Amino acid sequence: CIYSRTCIAYTLALLIVCLVDSVLLFMFFFFFFQAEDGIRDFCLSRGLGDVYKRQDEIIEARKVVRQVYLDEKIERYIVDIVFATRFPEKYDLKELKDMIGFGGSPRASINLALDARTYAFIKRRGYVIQEDVSAVAQDVFRHRIGLTYEAEANNMTSDEIISKILNKVEVP
């Protein structure tokens, strides 16, 4: 008799949790899939109207960021950094060869260039310098470098590897 009451209580609790989850899910989809005017009215009623006024500014800023000048020497520097994550022995980083399972992909170089342009834009410059690349390299590569078990056993992080690569790759 005790087990059946406990079982019923757990079943009711589970039913209530599922019901609450269903209501929350419905509310999310209801607000997410509303027409743009409905979402705008919802945001305006909560003081978020500036978001829609600034949307055009953000789109324009993204266009301007892509126009920030990136010299060929800086492009080559970015490529060298990415290749140093894949082939560290070619950049006199033999100690990292056994620490890196996989290095940055071509998308890493694309995103590093774009992030460096964005950083230069934020610093109010129309051109990218080496410091811009170094400033964003940790964030770009942190999840793009796969560490080996040996690196983990030595308590080495991807940030340490990236720092060693940035210190070793020749700056233009």
pLDDT tens, position by position, 84-103: 999 999 888 888 888 898 88
Task: Tell which wins on pLDDT, 117 or 1.
Answer: 117
Which tokens hold the place of 28?
A: 């999310």
* Enclosing H/E stretch for 6: helix 2-32
For residue 64, the number of C-alpha atoms closer than 13 Å in the C-beta half-sphere is 13
Which tokens hold the place of 137?
A: 């390299």
Query: What is the rounded average pLDDT for all residues in the chain?
Result: 76
Q: What is the pTM of this model?
A: 0.66
Task: Tell which wins on pLDDT, 56 or 38.
Answer: 56
Closest residue by Cα to residue 167 from 119, 68, 95, 72: 95
